[in-house]
Amino acid sequence: MIHVKQVSKTYTRNQTSISALKPVDLHIRSGEIFGIIGHSGAGKSTLIRCLNCLERPTTGTVTVNGVDLTALHGKKLQAQRQQIGMIFQHFHLLSSATVFDNIAFPLRLAKADRKHIRERVEELAELVGLQHVLNQYPSQLSGGQKQRVGIARALAMKPHVLLCDEATSALDPETTRAILQLLSRINRELGITIVLITHEMQVIRDICDRVAVMDAGEIVEQGDVIDVFLHPAHRVTRQFVSQVQDDTHVRSYVESDAAKTILSISFKGDQTYEPVLFETVRDTGYSFSILQGTISKMKDLPYGQLLIELHGEQIDHEQVADQLRARGLEVEVMEWRS
């Protein structure tokens, strides 16, 4: 669907070159929700704007649906952009236009006839839940309603791709959940590929299939969300994962002077609800205490994470770990001091 090859972006200001985006490679599959996460200044907004050539890359190519956008200019580029919708953090609505006219704006630019415009606007208003406010103005709407207008407008031309630039950052938590649920439904029902940038790991965990982590203009880690979440390799990724995991008390306990046998265990799918841990520890004769535990879902996939301390004399922690691994769990010995 979207192939990014060695794309970089350099700005020149006062005869000084500023590298906002170093050469990156990225492949986004058709029909998935792909997240891009990074701190402010990491280059994620520059990257997403390169995907529709609102920012023309300094080097590299961006291919969408088999078309190299970086080779296009003028009307040909504008025609391809109609297949790529975009929503923004601060909505970018026309303040003097009604909800109806805001949604209709791209259709009128494309010179669609009145009947088609009305039918399409009403269809989209129903999809995003705004059919009762079509005659109101943006100043009369809540933040969540404004973003729904932005989503409907971005979908007006029936795009194949929807780019979301910090689409929930200006919203409260409850409204954020509602907007994420709407985006997930749009992806599921319409089959639209969604690229979503954020600085919140909770957003990535809630709706994304895969994720790329950015730092200092580079992609430092990428993969399936559940794999990146359960096994973050890069320092920045671990920082983001810690947003949704408060392990301060566990770290304090583990780092105390007493000798401990701590195992970090992660599992996903059907294993989440099976008594694998109990059976393994029972068979090896050790008792254990749970220091921290999470059982949740990432999109529709259940997963779990546990930190346990084994108790007993002359504990063979590798024996326990190996038995758990043999049963399909992922295990890491976190702390072992004698």
Where among 180, 213, 243 does a domain terminate?
243
pLDDT at res. 284: 78
Confidence category of residue 37, pLDDT binned at 50, 70, 90: very high
pLDDT (mean) for 187-215: 94
Mark which of 216, 243, 270 sits at the end of a domain. Answer: 243
Instruction: Read off the pLDDT band of 42 (50, 70, 90).
Output: very high
Q: Are residues 216 and 268 in the same domain?
A: no
Check whether residue 232 and residue 262 sit in a common domain: no
Task: Give me the pLDDT at residue 338, please.
Answer: 43
Of the listed ranges 35-39, 193-197, 229-233, 242-246, the least confidently predicted one is: 242-246
Judgement on whether residues 75 and 171 belong to the same structural domain of the protein: yes
The last residue of a domain, from among 190, 218, 243 = 243
- Percent over 90 (pLDDT), the chain: 59
pLDDT at 13: 82
pLDDT of residue 99: 97
Residue range 297-311, pLDDT digits in tens:
777 788 888 888 888
Mean per-residue pLDDT, 76-85? 93
Residue 132 maps to a domain:
yes
Q: Do 78 and 196 belong together in one domain?
A: yes
Say what the pLDDT of residue 303 is.
Answer: 84
User: Which carries the bigger pLDDT value, residue 260 or residue 290?
Assistant: 290
Helices 317-326 and 276-284: angle between axes, nearest 10 degrees: 140
The 3 state secondary structure assigned to the chain is CEEEEEEEEEEEECCEEEEEEEEEEEEECCCCEEEEEECCCCCHHHHHHHCCCCCCCCEEEEEECCEEHHHCCHHHHHHHHCCEEEEECCCCCCCCCCHHHHHHHHHHHCCCCHHHHHHHHHHHHHHHCCCCCCCCCHHHCCHHHHHHHHHHHHCCCCCCEEEEECCCCCCCHHHHHHHHHHHHHHHHHHCCEEEEEECCHHHHHHHCCEEEEEECCEEEEEEEHHHHHHCCCCHHHHHHHHHHCCCHHHHHHHCCCCCCEEEEEEEEHHHHHCCHHHHHHHHHCCEEEEEEEEEEEECCEEEEEEEEEEECCCCCHHHHHHHHHHCCCEEEEEEECC
Same domain, 313 and 165: no
- CATH number, domain containing residue 327: 3.30.70.260
- How many structural domains comprise the chain? 2
Q: Which domain holds residue 25?
A: 2-243
200 and 282 belong to one structural domain: no
The verdict on 144 and 41 lying in the same domain is yes
Instruction: Verify that 72 and 18 share a domain, yes or no.
Output: yes
Q: Does residue 19 surpass a pLDDT of 80?
A: yes
pLDDT band with cut points at 50, 70 and 90 for residue 48: very high
pLDDT over 50 (residue 106): yes
User: Residue 188 maps to which CATH number?
Assistant: 3.40.50.300
Tell me whether residue 248 is in a domain.
Answer: no
Name residue 130's amino acid: L
Whether residues 59 and 138 fall in one domain: yes
